[in-house]
A and B are shown apart, each in its own frame.
Chain A
Amino acid sequence: MLNVSIYRYNPEVDQEPYMQDFQIDTQGKDIMVLDVLEKLKVEDPTLVFRRSCREGVCGSDGMNISGKNGLACVTPLSEAVKKNKLVIRPLPGLPVIRDLVIDMSQFYAQYEKIQPYMINNTPAPAIERLQSPEERAKLDGLYECILCACCSTACPSFWWNPDKFIGPSGLLQAYRFLADSRDTATEERLANLDDPFSVFRCHGIMNCVQVCPKGLNPTKAIGHIRNMLVRSAT
């Protein structure tokens, strides 16, 4: 039997959060953490978590799994269980709504701040805007972000300043548009980021890179933005 310890909190009945222990028979199979949660929910319908695609592309089920942020649906028990114990908590640093469900408003607000859409004020051609494979390749490792918040909620700088530091996810997306040959708002985008907090609170701790379930590298993207800011200042 696998021991599972899960963070519980229902604002309607609990004064404060607590850890609840469950036992589950996985029949020795290396199932995903999400499968464990689904099985437990059959027994305890009050257990609450988000999930959708169950294949690691929608970003719903980011949570803290045995101390590391990740997606429950693509984290097998073999990676998550230590000494026959699985510990599941909500992503850290943001308010908890209930159990494993966090309030992501601040995370989304930082995403919206970077103007996460293409800006190109030149008249659009009758067909697509042309982009070479080399120019397009610059977007690889950036556009794949699924907004799961595993990175930003693993970042101490984001914990301290979630209202002012854009955070790794938002900055990765900021660079996704700065790097796009079709976008013409580079100066405006850099000006919006040019303050002591938005970018420069990143101290290169690299927790974001450690936890990204899509293998992306926000720290590298932030480095590129820093260089662009320094260059545009001189």
Chain B
Amino acid sequence: MANIRTMSFDAVIVGGGGSGMRAALQLAQSGYKTAVITKVFPTRSHTVSAQGGITCAIASDDPNDQWQWHMYDTIKGSDYIGDQEAIEYMCQTGPEAIFELEHMGLPFSRTEEGRIYQRPFGGQSKDFGNGGQAARTCAAADRTGHALLHTLYQGNLKNETTFLNEWFAVDIVKNADNAVVGVVAINIETGETVYVKTKATVFATGGAGRIYASTTNAHICTGDGIGMALRAGFPVQDIEMWQFHPTGIHGAGTLVTEGCRGEGGYLVNKDGERFMERYAPNAKDLAGRDVVARSMVLEILEGRGCGPDGDHVYLKLDHLGEETLNAKLPGILELSRTFAHADPVKEPIPVVPTCHYMMGGIPTNVNGQALTIDSEGNDQVIEGFYACGEAACVSVHGANRLGGNSLLDLVVFGRASGMFIEQQLREGVDLKDASEADIEAAMAGLNRLNDSTGGENAAVLRAELQTIMQNYFGVFRRGDFMQEGIAKLAALRPRIENVALGDKSNAFNTSRIEALELQNLFEVAEATAITAEARTESRGAHARDDFKERDDENWLCHSVFFPDDKRVGKRGVNFTLKTREAFEPKIRTY
């Protein structure tokens, strides 16, 4: 008997970051009984750390800007495995979604005309790559994520969304038809386990940057939604595609926004050379993030790195002047002084490419409906299951995300998911109730952990996992190394499944949560490793020494990882635009 309490809602959103709260807002406004399960108080979600801005063609900096140019940049940035239909939807709907946020009170920085301030970011162009650098990233100084997340929380307070704050979703509950009918979740404060029942389960659980030793991501970015989906037998897409942000602070890993380079900062090697001029003669420091990150690593590997160990490069900002830095990049001054002990007004910031963003995730359509692939290779909707934001792969980022596109992805697809679910609920959703056994099945992992007696320390195992991923699946990858890494992960799996629970208390037991998070991290890491080894080409963020070229003949497609047999399949990329002809793949240069 699954002897636990049931709570019922029309829709349940797992995750209180940007996409989750945008979806929740949409549903709360519609009057449907909506709950957000979030393991931290919503404004502590990782969206809060986004700095530089949200990219969108609102035609403020350039009155002639067009969303189609943004669409072109995004498709090119994705190295042509972003779904064009989804990118079109995002870029076209974007302005509406941004203006809604502004009307809700988001304190954007302003131009002299009183419009939203936009700054240049990497990979942005006018006129389909022919009109030079665009300035398309809408900013609230360098605290855009903070401003956005707080505004969304405030909007949800206004609309009386139910928040289950500091609750942790453990696993998916599936009914007899393999449809998703809610989750089992723990109230962290009391330790109570509850079945949260619903007709629409939305995973807005964010990324999993903590699979790597060096990451810009918060401690909480542990891929919980991906872990739950994989344990439930659902596939993930393009999970080998991890973005390494060019400018993480050396040592600490904290993010330094691309907006620094947008405002005129640039990277130098130990000789003081502005080396990006060699790698990307046109866009220079504002080339795609994958391009800049690889260039930095090559500089370091070729002996032109900075510092006593030659293991980083410098980001130079002092030439911008104190006044500009205070006005445009105040948060960066604070972070650099605290974590790099460098004052950007006077000296450069030591930076190194750092794991930043998961392009892959749960495959969805533009309505947020999660997909699996049937035996004939056709997309099949998973009833009751939705995903949006970083946890989802809709896919607007393909093999490489452009800066400022993650926040846009959050609000556009959080909103789209909410609107679609609202319509579904209005039309009536008929899903079979979960049986006792179905709920029991979702509690198996938790019960096993709670009953464990032996095992190793979660923090020690986590560090081992992160080291494997850092060493074998980093910026540059090679088949034989990756096979070694996969073998190491296979040896680690039973140890992580048997992780020790050193605290059995029910009162705010964070050790229990960390053990569950570790198991989620492992699922993400293994899927990443196996898929990365399978994709025998270089594309976007996936750069292989043994397959240096992009292989459109075999790999102009999504990878799909099926957890049951750990198989890597392929899924076609969408090349159907509603408003014009599709963009054909071209050689990608900046």
Contact = CB atoms under 8 A, between A and B. Distances in A.
A118 B508 contact: no
Contacts of B295: none
Contact of B43 (A41, A59, A115, A117): A59
A101 B511 CA distance: 14
Contacts of B115: 127-128, 130
Interface residues of A, number: 56
A136 B110 contact: yes
Interface of A: 10-13, 38, 41-42, 45-46, 48-60, 74, 76, 97-99, 101, 104, 108, 112, 115-118, 120, 124, 126-133, 135-136, 139, 143-144, 146-147, 177, 180, 182-183
B339 A55 contact: yes
Contact of A116 (B41, B99, B154): B154
A118 B505 CA distance: 42
Interface string B29-43: 000000000001101
Interface in B321-336: 331, 334-335
B99 A126 contact: yes
Contacts of B95: 127
Contacts of A135: 110
Contacts of A112: 157
Contacts of B539: none
B292 interface: no
Contact of B143 (A97, A98, A144): A144
A57 B114 contact: no
B219 A97 contact: no
A46 B504 CA distance: 9
A52 B507 contact: no
B46 interface: yes
A54 to B, nearest CB: 6
Q: Of residues A51, A127, A132, which shows the largest number of chain B Cβ atoms within 10 Å of its Cβ?
A: A127
A205 to B, nearest CB: 26
A98 B111 contact: no
A133 B150 CA distance: 21
Closest 9 A/B residue pairs (Cβ): A118-B105, A45-B502, A130-B114, A117-B154, A128-B102, A58-B44, A45-B511, A98-B508, A46-B503
Contact of A97 (B112, B116, B189): B189
Nearest to A142: B107
Contacts of B278: none
Interface string B433-464: 00000000000000000000000011110000
B507 A42 contact: no
Contacts of B511: 41, 45-46
A9 to B, nearest CB: 9
B220 interface: yes
B470 to A, nearest CB: 18
A108 B158 CA distance: 14
B509 interface: yes
A52 B220 contact: yes
Nearest to B156: A117
A59 B150 CA distance: 12
Nearest to A117: B154
A128 B99 CA distance: 5
Interface in B459-515: 459-460, 500-503, 505-511
A170 B6 CA distance: 35
